[in-house]
């Protein structure tokens, strides 16, 4: 009897395993870059290696998706992480004319319609409903179980202090909800997107600076809550022409050390309102007959706060007008500025010179010029002097060559330089910066 049960267990496991789709990848990035201020060397090495395993397992009408990874960098030589673990399903529906409904539970990526406010892994649940020409989604997730080295949502002074606290392994707890509605039935087939991102700081009360404290302290901080409304329109302007535009209104509150006539020092910690804006546009033109090439123009504007004394929790007078994105974005390779007292304009040209060969070889040349919206004050890059006056920050120029000789092997050679405006840079950051890297990815 025991042998029979053992055979049955082996058969069940074998059948189950045969339905599992398993794979992974190995990635290595090696290169050189200009040294940071204070490093007495003509260059520094760039090094990162990672390995990942993923699986997909059908479970009736559901599907289990999981991925775990190991990453090595000189600063964090041993980092194991659970990148994804979710259970999802899409089912036919006939309620209110819907064609399908979908649900996802677990750890997966969350994003807003622009991709520049939120684009991060969270733990939670998603609900989607689709109609023939439109879709609606609602998602709620938390950062509380995200490991600190992989967390990119750092919004306040207390979040920065947590980074240096070895006793804290996980990200500051935040609850994030997103709502997204998209329709293709707008102005003759253009896509209209309406969205919202709501973020609530769940940091415990005993870690907060009390409202009314009259003495400033470098480790003082409070909760930072945000709400973003998003409007986007995208579509085609004609053969080969495609565009995307978006606008976001940001609101919320943050703790600030503000003037107070009733305080013995003349100041006290108070919660101040956040009212901010971000807008952007992209225009792409595809030319298949010219080496399968594409030219793209892009621009982004985000409001700043001229009286702020730091990029995070920097408000010093009245309400804050600096835009607050939740997760970081990258707009160029050597230097980049996050939304918040920054704007940029960019142009890129890419080509696939081997006709009919898909992604075997691709080349792209791009340039992005960065501006400080308020003309002064702090930005996300500490190399920019917040006390300086000047709108133009600098231009990043990058060249990338992508080769994919086989479907499972991808090589990316990147080189770039950042040409700063020395008048607005802090001491030691006035010179040109550069970076050259070679990335190899092998999938299996």
Give yes or no for a contact between 248 and 196, defined as CB atoms under 8 angstroms apart. Answer: no
Bridge partners of residue 343, in order along the sequence:
301, 371
Give Cα separations from 327 to 43, 53, 120, 159, 434 (angstroms).
29, 25, 7, 13, 25
| pLDDT digit string, tens, across residues 41-79 | 889 999 999 999 999 999 988 999 999 999 999 988 889
For residue 393, which of 342, 330, 327 has the smallest C-alpha distance? 342
- Average pLDDT taken over every residue of the chain: 92
Whole-angstrom distance, CA of residue 57 vs CA of residue 10: 18
Mean local confidence (pLDDT), 242-256: 97
Residue 144, pLDDT > 50, answer: yes
Task: Please say if the pLDDT value at position 14 is more than 70.
Answer: no
Per residue in 110-139, is it b (16+ CB within 10 Å) or e — as a string? bbbbbebbbbbbbbbebebbbbeebbbbeb
Buried/exposed code over 14-37 (b: 16+ C-beta within 10 A; e: otherwise): eeeeeeeeeeebebebebebbeee
- The answer, yes or no, to whether residue 117 has pLDDT greater than 80, is yes
Asked if residues 254 and 275 have their Cβ atoms less than 8 Å apart, the reply is: no
Given a contact cutoff of 8 angstroms between Cβ atoms, the answer to whether 131 and 161 are in contact is no
Please report the pLDDT score of residue 360 as a whole number.
86
Angle at 31 between CA 30 and CA 35, to 5 degrees: 130
Residues 150-189 pLDDT 10s:
999 999 999 999 998 989 999 999 999 999 999 987 887 7
What is the per-residue pLDDT for 393? 98
Give the β-pairing of 267-287 and 392-406.
unpaired
pLDDT tens digits for 193-239? Answer: 999 999 999 999 999 999 999 999 999 999 999 999 999 999 999 99
Asked whether residue 439 carries a pLDDT value surpassing 70, the answer given is: yes
User: What is the model's pTM?
Assistant: 0.91
Q: Note the pLDDT tens digit of each residue in 329-376.
A: 999 999 999 999 999 999 999 999 886 666 689 999 999 999 999 999
Question: Residues with Cβ < 8 Å from 204, sequence gap 6 or more?
Answer: none
Q: How high is the pLDDT of residue 96?
A: 65
């Amino acid at each position: 009897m025991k042998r029979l049960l053992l055979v049955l267990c082996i058969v069940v496991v074998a059948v189950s395993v045969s339905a599992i789709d398993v794979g992974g990848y190995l990635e290595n990035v090696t290169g050189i870059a200009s040294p940071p201020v204070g490093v007495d060397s003509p260059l520094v090495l760039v090094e990162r290696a990672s390995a990942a395993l993923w699986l997909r397992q059908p479970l009736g009408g559901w599907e289990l998706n999981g991925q775990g990874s190991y990453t090595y960098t000189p600063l964090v030589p041993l980092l194991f992480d659970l990148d994804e673990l979710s259970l999802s399903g899409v089912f036919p529906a006939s309620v209110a004319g819907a064609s399908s409904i979908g649900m996802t539970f677990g750890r997966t990526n969350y994003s807003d319609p622009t991709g520049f406010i939120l684009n991060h892994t969270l733990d939670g649940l998603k609900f989607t409903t689709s109609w023939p020409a439109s879709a609606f989604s609602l998602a709620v997730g938390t950062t509380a179980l995200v490991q600190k080295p992989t967390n990119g949502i750092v919004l306040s002074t207390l979040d920065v202090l947590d980074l240096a606290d070895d006793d804290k392994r996980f990200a500051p707890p935040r609850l994030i909800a997103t709502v997204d509605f998209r329709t293709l039935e707008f102005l003759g087939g253009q896509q209209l997107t309406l969205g919202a991102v709501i973020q609530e700081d769940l940091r415990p009360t005993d870690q907060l600076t009390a409202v009314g404290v009259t003495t400033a302290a470098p480790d003082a901080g409070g909760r930072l809550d945000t709400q973003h409304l998003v409007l986007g329109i995208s579509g085609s302007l004609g053969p080969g022409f495609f565009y995307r535009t978006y606008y976001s209104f940001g609101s919320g509150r943050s703790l600030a050390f503000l003037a107070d006539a009733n305080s013995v020092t003349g100041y006290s910690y108070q919660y101040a309102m956040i009212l901010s804006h971000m807008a952007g546009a992209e225009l792409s033109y595809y030319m298949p007959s010219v080496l399968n090439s594409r030219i793209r123009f892009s621009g982004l504007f985000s409001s700043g706060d001229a009286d702020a004394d730091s990029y995070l929790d920097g408000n010093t007078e009245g309400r804050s007008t600096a835009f607050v994105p939740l997760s970081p974005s990258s707009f160029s390779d050597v230097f980049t500025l996050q939304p918040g007292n920054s704007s940029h304009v960019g142009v890129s040209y890419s080509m696939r010179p081997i006709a009919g060969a898909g992604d075997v070889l691709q080349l792209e040349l791009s340039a992005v010029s960065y501006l400080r919206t308020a003309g002064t004050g702090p930005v996300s890059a500490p190399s920019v002097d917040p006390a300086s006056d000047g709108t133009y920050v600098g231009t990043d120029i990058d060249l990338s060559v992508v080769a994919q000789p086989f479907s499972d092997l991808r090589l990316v050679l990147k080189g770039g330089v950042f040409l700063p405006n020395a008048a607005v840079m802090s001491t030691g950051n006035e010179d040109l910066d550069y970076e050259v890297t070679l990335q190899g990815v092998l999938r299996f």
